[in-house]
Amino acid sequence: MFSIRISFLHKFLCTTMASQVMGGTRAAHVFSMLVLISFFVIAAEGAIEEYAPMKILMDEWDIRPPSWVGSDPCVGGWAGIECTDSRITSIALADMALTGQLPSDIGLLSELESLNLSFNKGLKGLIPASIGKLTKLVYLNLVGCSFFGRIPDTIGSLQQLSYLSLKNNSFDGLIPPSIGNLSNLSFLDISDNKLVGSLPVSNRTTPGLDKLYKARHFHFQNNQLSGTIPSQLFSSQMVLIHVIFDRNNLTGSIPSTLGLVQTLQALRLDRNSLSGSVPSSLNNLSKIAELHLSNNQLTGPVPNLTSLNGLSYVDLSNNTFDVSDIPTWFSTLQNLTTLMMENTRLQGEVPQALFSNDNLETVVLRNNKINGLLDLETISSSNHLLIDMEKNFITDLSAGGSNSTLKLADNPICEGTNMTNNYCIVSLSNSSNLILPSNCASVACSPDQVSSPNCTCAYPYTGTLVFIFVSFSNLGNSRYYTTLQDSLVTTFQSYNLPVESVSLGYPTWGSSYQLELFIQVFPSGQDRFNQTGASAIASVISNQTLPQRPPFFGPYSAVLTYGNSGGGGSKKGLTIGAAVGGSVLLLLLALVGVYALQQKRRADKQWSRSIPLSGISNSSASAPRLKGARLFSFEELQKYTNGFSEANDVGAGGYGKVYRGILPTGQMVAIKRAKRDSMQGGPEFTAEVELLSRVHHKNLVSLVGFCLEQGEQILVYEYVPNGDLLDSLSGKSGIRLDWLKRLKIILGAARGLAYLHELANPPIIHRDIKSNNILLDKDLTAKVADFGLSKSMADSGTDHVTTQVKGTMGYLDPEYYMTQQLTEKSDVYSFGVVMLELITARRPIEQGKYIVRVVQMAMDKTKDLYNLQEVLDPYIGLGTELKGLEIFVDLAMSCVEESQDKRPRMGEVVKVIEKITQLAALNNSTSSSASYEDVSRDDLLPSAQRSRP
């Protein structure tokens, strides 16, 4: 209707102009004016057509960056929006903390060519069928959101699409065959979803993936795809370079037609249920560099890979090949860096020639029947290899001058007097604490800032890059990372982004041998990126556009976190149209100021009425008790702590200093005095006091009182005399903890935490569970402490998206860190780390080794105590049999599962630990002590809801 009116007005103006032409000079002026008006009216039509759907998107996603000024997204340079001829052609809003759904009105942006909404975990719901109306779309990136449901069939209407990435969402159902209509598609990534069913191929009536002749990437890993890999899927017409199907439920044989795809560089079919022999046609893949077929049910002879001279990474582990001598191609593939043939029924001696390859970095041949002499004489003294030959039948060793890492545990050579040799001790780490070198030792940054490679202090954009393919395995070789670092900087600067430098470090092997690499991107000319800059960096990373990416790094995914951006302020803003005159603008600003002042006064009055503590007297005599907590004056607390003297100072934390004090009653208390930079607003502090005053349990440190005067925020807690669990595990306290005492402590801590999650009203997420927040009283009863970081679950329902991740590294839930999605399962992860700390007496991160990985690597469930004797704290077994330890470890490992959905609730954790304590014959007083449920719910209910006698 609007378009009809515009057209009518346009015709009317043109007619009027024509009738005025004969009117001389005056008519000429009128004519010129009407031509100008007509031009603006026609232009406005296009602007309004674009603004209407953008307004719907803005309202749905709750977004209004500061640069989005005015009503026309194509005028004024809206960040993330690009236009051509007043029509929106590109939307790039990666990592903008968007929430909501993708509305069907997106289909109205008919000129859109690029849509990037990646890394917005708050975006969820179904993809609307109207996405198929974006027929000019070339690029669609929805990586790292929370969309679910089926991928719409209408996506097959996007005939111009060349890049489609739906990775890391929750899509389910079948892969739509209509994707086969996307004849221009080059990059297809639907990995890390919940897709089921078979791989669709074409027939006479429907399209299929086999018609994607321009596709170079098939990334389908980590779904629930089933059925066989159709032989029809591959042909000589295809130009695929990456076929990634690992971690699915695929069955049947490997199709011989794979050998027709001459362009293939990387093939991952590992972690499926494929059977049969490896087809000899794979020898035709002359360009292949990566071959992953591990963890299937493959049979027949070990494949002959002699002709694949470009191979750098081979993993055929955990298949049931025919018993075979060591293949000759082990020694002839000169580009080989990584050879993994664990549990493949190999036998005989390893040929000496294998180790003469200067490119070789890793050889894993564990759990075979390799025997005789292991001859390492040909290894260059400058070449450091990892050689894992554990669980074989090696009887002799000739190591020469090699400084390689050798693992020979569970071989005859390690029996008897040789057991103490280094190569007979199980190595525990599969990660590296490598950080690229820096010359910034003299640079002192504030606690929250980081020194860049160029020695400037800033708040970097951070995240983790996960590489699906890498053609190396030596994590400590810095040359790989420096090359990638330079490539990243070049890429960012080619997009004119204000990037000073990039730092990479802490490489580690994640699940399924994917390289995880920590990244920090530092700003140029400022100490932090604003929201627009951060979003632009996320867009570049998600685009997979590294023009100079080193050849030994393949495709990657990313998890990005930018907790300290500080830039850009709120995404909602007040926009005043540019057409408003100066005087009107001043008047508006004045009215706004008056209105704001009135609102503030009204809010202050409302706050004083609604906050129960706000009107209380500073006199302690008149202070009411809040479920046992009382109001102290600052003068009283000065007296109880001898003027906050150093003699009474018992420690400090993120909140501030802690002082020991003695009340007139003789009760000893711990007085926490907030630092200026950690103080909350008045309402937040009083709300926290109210919450803590209602929480009462024998395994939680009780709040005795508080002080809120003279600009101070002070919390007064019960004093717990035996320090924290960390002190006892480290030996600092002088308390030695055997297995029974440790079980008593961890059971108490579990009960306290379960109470916070399941019985507190409202439930509370602690957010900083760690060993030094578990205090021990005189009877070694555990008390969970420090609710300074706690979060009420009532604040935002079950899941809470935080604006800044809080907690302690090493204990921090990786899913919370990556997604900023906070649930009680984040506490469960931290508690699992404490459980591992309890049995090992190791810090969560110690000498670059992460305790979770240390235990994972050492575990062997076929052996007594899961083969963990080398990592257990020696004091744990003093005078005690370690009954139930295996169950305890299983429970701890379930708590530290990467996915929150796989972790137990704390109530379930309590019940399992109670059973373990019974199994370990814990004394009756502890095993029968009150559980976390033995507390009156009345203590937590508002007074109006409490039961009456």
Q: The domain 451-561 belongs to what CATH superfamily?
A: SEA domain (3.30.70.960)
How large a percentage of the chain has pLDDT more than 70?
72
Query: What pLDDT score does 805 carry?
Result: 56
Residue 187 has pLDDT above 80, yes or no: yes
Pull the structure tokens for residue 903.
Answer: 């972790």
- Return the pLDDT at 864: 87
pTM of the model: 0.53
Is 287 annotated among the ligand-binding residues?
Answer: no
Mean predicted confidence (pLDDT) in 322-343: 91
What does the alpha-carbon distance between residue 180 and residue 377 come to, in Å, rounded to a whole number? 54
Residue of higher predicted confidence among 752 and 612: 752
- In the chain, the largest separation of any two C-alpha atoms, in whole Å, equals 116
- The pLDDT score that the predictor gives to residue 31 is 43
Ramachandran assignment for 441, one of left (phi > 0), alpha (psi -120 to 50 degrees), beta (any other): alpha
DSSP 852-912: HHHHHHH--TTSGGGG-TTTS-GGGGTT---TTHHHHHHHHHHHT-SSGGGSPPHHHHHHH
146: pLDDT strictly greater than 80: yes
Q: Which residue has the higher pLDDT, 124 or 47?
A: 124
Residue 213 has pLDDT above 60, yes or no: yes
- Which of 139-153, 256-270, 462-476, 735-749 is least confident? 462-476
- The whole-number average pLDDT for the span 754-772 is 88
Q: 650: part of which helix (H) or strand (E)? A: strand 649-652
Q: What type of residue sits at position 125?
A: G
Confidence of residue 608 (pLDDT cuts 50, 70, 90): very low
With a cut of 60, say whether residue 329 has pLDDT above it.
Answer: yes
Q: Is the pLDDT of residue 96 over 90?
A: no
Closest CA to 140 of 148, 159, 121: 159
**Other C-beta atoms lying within 10 Å of the C-beta of residue 11:** 11
Dist CA 315 CA 332 (whole Å): 16
617-719 shares its CATH topology with 724-949: no
Ranges 50-54, 57-61, 857-861: which has the least confidence = 50-54
**Nearest of 925, 949, 944, 947 to residue 936 by alpha carbon:** 947
pLDDT of residue 788 exceeding 60, the answer is no
- Residues 468-491 pLDDT 10s: 656 555 555 556 667 777 778 888
On the question of pLDDT at 523 being above 70, the answer is: yes
pLDDT confidence of residue 30: 44
Q: Lowest mean pLDDT: which of 8-12, 174-178, 269-273, 942-946?
A: 942-946
Q: Which whole number is the average pLDDT over 182-211?
A: 95
Backbone angles phi, psi at 282, to 5 degrees: -65, -20
In sequence order, what E strands does 209-357 have? 217-219, 224-228, 242-244, 249-252, 266-268, 273-276, 290-292, 297-298, 313-315, 324-325, 338-340, 346-348
- The distance in angstroms from the start CA to the end CA of the chain is 69
Q: Is the pLDDT of residue 947 over 50?
A: no
Q: Calculate mean pLDDT across residues 611-626.
A: 40
Q: What is the pLDDT of residue 945?
A: 32
Q: Is the separation of the CB atoms in 849 and 429 below 8 Å?
A: yes
Contact by Cβ (8 Å): 504, 481:
yes
Residue 814's SS3 state is helix
Rg of the chain in Å (alpha carbons)? 33
What is the pLDDT, as a whole number, of residue 579? 31
Q: How would CATH label the architecture of 724-949?
A: Orthogonal Bundle (1.10)
Q: Which among 594-608, 765-779, 841-855 has the top mean pLDDT?
A: 765-779
Q: Enter the DSSP assignment of 825.
A: H
Residue 310 in tokens:
């470009």
Nearest to 202 by CA among 175, 221, 226, 225: 175
Reported confidence tier of residue 47, pLDDT bands at 50, 70, 90: very low
Q: Residue holding tokens 């009960």?
A: 751
Over 80: is that where the pLDDT of 755 sits? yes
Q: Catalytic one among 768, 786, 827, 873?
A: 768
Mean pLDDT of 121-149: 93
Residues 558-562 have a mean pLDDT of: 60
What is the rounded distance in angstroms from the CA atom of residue 679 to the CA atom of residue 561? 25
The tokens for 72 are: 């026309």
Across the strands, what pairs with 99?
Answer: 122
Average pLDDT over residues 86-90: 90
Q: What is the pLDDT of residue 942?
A: 32
Residue 483 is predicted with a pLDDT of 72
| Per-residue model confidence (pLDDT) at position 687 | 65
Overall average pLDDT of the 134-140 stretch: 95
Are 93 and 120 in contact by the 8 Å Cβ rule? The answer is yes
The pLDDT value recorded for residue 382 is 62
Q: pLDDT at residue 637 above 70?
A: yes
Q: What is the pLDDT of residue 318?
A: 94
Q: From CA 350, how far away is CA 394, in angstroms rounded?
A: 10
Q: pLDDT by residue (tens digit) across 839-884?
A: 999 988 876 678 898 898 889 988 888 999 889 988 887 656 788 9
Phi, psi of 124 (to 5 degrees): -145, -175
Of the candidate ranges 414-423, 578-587, 919-928, the one whose mean pLDDT is the lowest: 578-587
CA 177, 180, 182, 187 torsion: positive or negative? positive
Asked which of 207-211, 596-600, 882-886 is least confident by mean pLDDT, the reply is 596-600
Closest CA to 282 of 263, 256, 300: 256
Average pLDDT in the 917-931 region? Answer: 54
Q: Where are the domains of the chain?
A: 2-46, 451-561, 617-719, 724-949
In 534-691, at which residue ranges do the beta strands (DSSP E only) sit? 556-561, 630-631, 649-652, 656-662, 668-674
Give the Cα-Cα-Cα angle 513, 518, 519 (nearest 5 degrees): 135
- Please say if the pLDDT value at position 131 is more than 70: yes
617-621: Cβ within 8 A, 24+ apart = 618/709
**E strands, 365-438, where?**
369-375, 386-388, 393-398, 405-407
Most confident of 8-12, 789-793, 855-859: 855-859
Q: Which of 106-120, 237-251, 606-620 has the lowest mean pLDDT?
A: 606-620
Residue 700: what pLDDT? 92
Percentage of the chain exceeding pLDDT 90: 35
Q: Which residues pair with 100 in a beta bridge?
A: 123
Identify the weakest region by mean pLDDT among 160-164, 584-588, 629-633, 911-915: 584-588
pLDDT over threshold 80, residue 121: yes
Per-residue model confidence (pLDDT) at position 874: 84
As a whole number, mean pLDDT of residues 391-396 equals: 92
Are residues 236 and 259 in contact, defined by beta-carbon separation less than 8 angstroms? no
pLDDT of 925 strictly over 50: no
Specify the fold of 617-719: Phosphorylase Kinase; domain 1 (3.30.200)
Closest by CA position to 695, among listed 777, 784, 615, 633: 784
Helices and strands in the chain, H and E counts: 16, 48
- Judge whether 768 counts as a catalytic residue: yes
For residue 144, is pLDDT > 80?
yes
* pLDDT at residue 927, rounded to an integer: 37
What does the pLDDT average to over 820-847? Answer: 90
Query: 3-class SS at 629?
Result: strand
Q: Is residue 393 very low, low, confident or very high in pLDDT (cuts 50, 70, 90)?
A: very high
Average pLDDT over the chain reads 77
Q: Residue 682 pLDDT more than 70?
A: no
In terms of pLDDT, which residue wins out, 821 or 279? 279
Asked whether the beta carbons of 903 and 829 are under 8 A apart, the reply is yes
